[in-house]
Every structure is written in C-alpha cells, then in structure tokens.
Structure 1
C-alpha cells in the first residue's frame, strides 16, 4: 500500500528547501530591482551586464521577461518565499498531507517547465546569458528533483514499489543528477551560442 507520509520528518529536504529558496529569492529580488531601474532609466547600465553575451538587460526588456504581463522575477519572489516557508515549517515540526505534497510537486514541475522554456529562449532566441536568471535555473532543477523523488519514494505519488525503490536510490544521487543536468544545459548553450569563445 502506498505510503502517504514519511514517518520521519524530511529534515534534509527542509534544509535544502530553505537554502535553495533563499538563493532563488535573492536572484529574483535582484532581477526585480534591476527591472525597476530599467523602468526608471531605460539607458541605465545594470550591474549584471558584463558583456554582449552576459547580461540581464536583454532578458528583462524582452517580452519573454514578462510572459504573463508583469516581470517574471515577481513570480520568483513570491514562489521562492513559499519554498522557504515550507522548509521552515517542516523544521518546526509541521506535517503536511498528501494533497499538499502533490500541490508542491505540481508547482515545482511548472517552475521547471517554465525555466526550460526560458533557457531555450535565452539560448536560441535572445542569444544572451542572464546571470541572475542562471542562478534561478541552477536552484530550480535540484528543487524539482528533490521534491519529486521525495514524493515518489514516500508514496505521496502513488507508484509501484519498484519505482519507489528506484526513487529512493536516485534521491541520494540528486547532486550527481543535478550536475549532469547542468552539463547538458551547458553543452546545448555552447553548441548554439559558442559562449566559450565569446566570453
């Protein structure tokens, strides 16, 4: 029978959510401030602009930077605040129902899909690497992996026992899996943008 909740609080996951959330929030907040700076002075030189290849202005000024009609970083400010709160709540002894974990999984899955789309836009359309955006990408990927594998291994996502065992094994290899994901993204960016020769 699927296990709907882990008997032992996922302290490691909680600590990770707090750290990842704090990093993601800082990046989103910095991008939000940069957007305000651009709105006040469209010619302003942002601190995150290092070259034609590496900078935030192009992304923030594009339609891709405001997909839902407002700056994308505002989504990050709100979403990462929730992630931090969940981590703190777990450390404080909170125990969440299965529906909550599924809702969180849906949220991080949506975040991953959005990030992959934004990466594609940066690599193939905008031809620029936004530093703060890349920070967001780097924490979104392991956050998705950690939450999803946790839900699979604990049975919050109902799957056969063999899948739960595989997820439990993969859970301890999240760092390695994350590095592989980074390398795949870097290879794609290099093949499309040739960024190593343009830095």
Structure 2
C-alpha cells in the first residue's frame, strides 16, 4: 500500500467515525470505497478509472430510484426505457467465439466494463440483496445509463442523467436549449416558435 492509499484509508476511517458519532445515516466514503476498488484499472489508467467511478455513481442512482418503484419521481422515465439490447455488453460468451478478432477485442472490453459495474453493485450499501442478485436489473441500469447519459453543456465535461430532459432533440437543428441553475436543476426553453405537432 502506498502512502497516498494509506492517507485515503485514514480519511475514510475518520469520516466513518464522525458519521457514527453524529448518528448520521448518510453513506460514508468508507462504505463506498470497497465498491470503487472494483472500478479501478490495475494497469494504472487513472483517467479511465475515474471515469468508471463517475459513471458507476449514476448507475447506482438509477438502481436506488428503481428500488423505490412508483414512489420514485423517475418511475415513468425508467419504465419507458428499452428492455432489450443487442450490444456487446448483452451478448453471451458463446457469441464471442464467432466474432472477428478486432470486433471480439472491442466487444470484450465493453463487456469488462459491465462486469466491473456488476462487482461494484454487489459491494454497494443501501441496495437490497434482491436488487443485487437481479442480474437483469443491473444490466438494465448499465445499458440505460450508457444510452441516456449525455455531456453537460456547462464546460465541466460531466455526464448527466436528466429523466425526460434526455428526450429533447440534441441534434444540430434542436428546438430547445437547456441549462443548469446553481442548484443543479435542469431548465429547458424553446429557442424559436415551435408549430403544434413538431418534435422538440
């Protein structure tokens, strides 16, 4: 273990102890640390690892909302997501055998991202064991995230999930512009008169 890792571990322990002392029910860094370790690339690609961790937290948020069922404000949006996918993350190991070499390599890399997210989910607090064991569900969350997340237009480079807001046309001839306020709320506004029945 490096000095940096020891410091991180010490900070997490301190945060956990403070949380216990305060009686806080918030998830601590220590609780999430175990999950995050499954998202770190062993070859030391720090940027790639950081991206994986950021993506994972959005997937985790989707699972938390899914578990709330109809009580979640995301319910209608989640219920509208496709249930079938035919990309590399969804094909079986048998299918990999019949892919051309380059395509197989790329597909296996995409599949490894799914597996890393799965291991992280299995070590995540606040999700029921039923949710963790439901492979179809965490695959659904993984697929939905990579299909619906988009980059914020505030220069941060962050990927965000905006239920219903992601339905607006993001093409070059978009009729809607969007922005975020200081609290992170998403605001959409038409940029020209939109005739009835026209797509947004």
TM-score, with length taken from structure 1:
0.26
More helix by share: 1
Highest Rg: 1 or 2? 2
- Between 1 and 2, higher relative CO (CA 8 Å, sep ≥ 6) is seen in 1
TM-score, with length taken from structure 2:
0.26
More strand by share: 2
